[in-house]
Amino acid sequence: MNQQHQSEALVFGRYLLNGIEPVDSAVVLYVQAMERLAIVPSSDEQRLLDRLLLHPMLLPLVDAGLALANPRSVIRRKLFVLSAILETQPAHAAVYLPYEHSPVQHLKAIFSAVFAGLRAAFGFILVKLIA
């Protein structure tokens, strides 16, 4: 199995699932998808990718920044593909399927939305600086 893609699946997976380890089947599918869809980063993107694998805590900001600055970037595409794969794993279904929110969860959701907006703004600046 392609080591680089495997590491991407694990690091990106933990990020997308809020720290939960992605199931093995998702990692296998991600590696297959990268080969079939031929998503190849440019040398600049590869450098950023390597940095993100070393410093995963940058992922939320870089992802958010790219969403505004360069939504079609290879890194966004890779995250998108993995997110789609994770959505089809029964083990992770609960984090994708809607559920009845308690009043506290409603509040949490509203805060998350506010933070998401802030993250996008900071991420945008960060991505511009990196570029």
Partner 1 sequence: MKDKLFDFIVVGSGCTGAMAAQTLVEHGAKVLMLDVGKKDERYKQVIPDLDFTSIREQKNDQHRIFLGDDFEGIPTPGVKTGAQLTPPRRYLMEGVSRWLPLLSDTFFPMESLAYGGLGGGWGLGCCVFSDAELQQSGMDSQRMAEAYQTVSRRIGIASASDDALPFTSGPLKDVMPAIEIDRGSSRLLSTYKKQKKGFNSRGFYMGKPALALLTEDKGDRKKLDYQDMEFYSDAKKSAYRPWITVDELKKHNNFTYVSECLVMRYAELGDAVSVSGIHTETGANIEFKARKLLLAPGVLGTARIVLRSANAVDQRLPLLSNPYCYVPCIQPRFLGSAMDRHTTGMAQLSLFHDPRGDQSDVGMASIYSYRSLMLFRVMEQAPLAFRDSRKLFQYLLPAIKIMGIHHTEKPGDQKYLQLQKASTYSGDSLKAVYILSETENQKVLSREQSFVKAMRSLGCYALSKIDPGHGSSIHYAGTLPFSEKEGMFTLAKDGRLHGSKSVYVADGSGFRFLPAKGLTLSLMANAHAVAKGLLNTESVHR
Q: Which stretch binds partner 1 (CB under 8 A): 3-11, 47-55, 84-92?
A: 84-92
Q: Does 5 bind partner 1 (CB under 8 A)?
A: no
| The residue to which tokens 């991420």 are assigned | 123
From residue 23 to residue 42, the character string flagging contacts with partner 1 as x (rule: CB under 8 A) and all else as - is --x---x--xx--xx-----
The number of CA neighbours under 13 Å toward the Cβ of 71 is 3
Q: Which stretch binds partner 1 (CB under 8 A): 3-11, 47-55, 81-89?
A: 81-89
Q: Does 129 bind partner 1 (CB under 8 A)?
A: no
Maximum CA extent, the chain: 47
Q: Does 52 bind partner 1 (CB under 8 A)?
A: no
Contact between 9 and 34 (Cβ < 8 Å): no
Measure the CA–CA gap between 81 and 84, rounded to whole angstroms.
5
